[in-house]
């Protein structure tokens, strides 16, 4: 298996009403730290023209939002793989579904009761026909993300990968996604993933 | 008559999260699926739930929806003759 050099070409962080791309603040609001008003405001500010967004659960909205910012102006193919992870799975929507069971179950809520639905929504939005995986870990695990992504790249399963962390628990959200490809300046390593994630969380 | 149609448009916008649409933009004869409002299969299931919850109409055969969920007018006509609440 040949090993080509890969780089963290772009990265995005979304946390505490702020969006950072490549360590630069591109959006912040003082309005409301609650996740739903934030996701609605950002949709308008970022200029996403994707009506299906409004039907999604908050985890998928975060995924669409983060990847839209991340992949803007990036040269990505439809074979770009997705390797996401989080700690709370789809708990936020699972609880809403549990509450709705007391009355008439909502199909629109039920379809989002799996964490990997966000991978499907992102794939549909960007026309990806690629490998994808969603890992549940207690905390962001740069080693796991690096090793799985590296395997996909070096085995030629994908020419590029969007990977990272997309956590949503109650009203708190923490997203860190990277676009890994052959272009860029920051070498794709476990250490750099860790450093950039920690920087986003300072 | 028109109150039920307005009520339906409002419920559909709210229940199906059609946030970029207003009541005024939906014509009573617009197709709900396909080129009209562009609803999908999950929306169809939500409409079945809406009929039961708001009007006490229980559709036992989901394929019945194909004949009912054509437009706001068709839905309203069906509700007017079958509602139990």
Q: Write down the pLDDT at residue A140.
A: 97
CB A27 within 8 A of CB A45: yes
* Number of residues that this document lists for chain B: 85
Q: How far is CA A84 from the centre of its chain?
A: 6
Mean pLDDT of the A127-144 span: 97
Q: How far is A190 from chain B (nearest CA, A)?
A: 40
Average pLDDT, chain A: 93
Q: Write down the pLDDT at residue B1.
A: 47
Q: How far is CA A115 from the centre of its chain?
A: 11
Cα(B25)–Cα(B45) distance, integer angstroms: 23
Backbone angles phi, psi at B77, to 5 degrees: -60, -45
| pLDDT higher than 80, residue A154 | yes
Evaluate the CA torsion angle A48, A51, A54, A58 in order and state its sign.
Answer: negative
Per-residue pLDDT of chain B (85 residues; tens, 9 = 90+): 469 999 999 999 998 988 888 999 999 999 999 878 888 889 999 999 999 999 999 998 878 888 899 999 999 999 999 999 8
CATH superfamily for domain A7-200 = Thiolase/Chalcone synthase (3.40.47.10)
Domains and CATH numbers, chain B: 2-82 (1.10.1200.10)
Q: Chain A to chain B, count of Cβ pairs less than 8 Å apart?
A: 30
Per CB-CB distance under 8 Å, the chain A contacts of B20 are: 51, 54
CB A15 within 8 A of CB A35: no
Q: What is the DSSP letter of A28?
A: E
- Residue closest to A134 by CA, chosen among A159, A152, A155, A116: A116
CB-count exposure of residue B38 (10 Å: 0-12, 13-18, 19+): middle
Report the residue of chain B nearest A111, measured CA to CA.
Answer: B42
Per-residue pLDDT reduced to its tens digit, A7-48:
999 999 999 999 999 999 999 987 766 788 899 889 988 888
- Contact flag A104-B42 (C-beta cutoff 8 Å): no
């Amino acid at each position: 298996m040949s090993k080509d050099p890969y780089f963290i070409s772009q990265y995005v962080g979304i946390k505490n009403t702020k969006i950072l791309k490549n360590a630069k603040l591109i959006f912040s609001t003082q309005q409301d730290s609650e996740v739903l008003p934030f996701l609605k405001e950002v949709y308008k500010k970022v200029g996403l023209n994707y009506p299906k967004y409004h039907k999604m659960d908050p985890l998928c909205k975060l995924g669409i939002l983060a990847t839209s910012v991340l992949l803007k102006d990036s040269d990505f193919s439809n074979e770009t793989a997705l390797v996401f992870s989080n700690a709370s799975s789809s708990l936020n929507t699972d609880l809403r579904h549990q509450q709705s069971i007391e009355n008439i179950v909502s199909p629109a809520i039920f379809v989002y009761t799996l964490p990997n639905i966000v991978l499907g929504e992102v794939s549909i939005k960007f026309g990806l026909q690629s490998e994808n995986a969603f890992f549940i870990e207690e905390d962001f695990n740069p080693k796991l993300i690096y090793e799985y992504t590296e395997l996909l790249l070096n085995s030629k399963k994908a020419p590029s990968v969007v990977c990272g962390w997309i956590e949503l628990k109650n009203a708190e959200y923490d997203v860190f996604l990277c676009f890994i490809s052959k272009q860029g300046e920051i070498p794709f390593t476990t250490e750099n993933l860790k450093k950039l994630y920690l920087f986003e969380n300072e | 008559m028109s109150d039920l149609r307005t009520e339906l448009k409002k419920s559909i916008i709210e229940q199906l999260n059609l946030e970029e649409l207003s009541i005024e933009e939906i014509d009573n004869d617009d197709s709900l699926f396909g080129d009209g409002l562009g609803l999908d299969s999950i929306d169809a299931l939500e409409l079945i739930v809406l009929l039961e919850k708001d009007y006490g109409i229980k559709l036992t055969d989901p394929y019945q929806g194909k004949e009912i969920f054509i437009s706001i007018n068709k839905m309203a006509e069906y509700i007017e003759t079958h509602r139990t609440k």
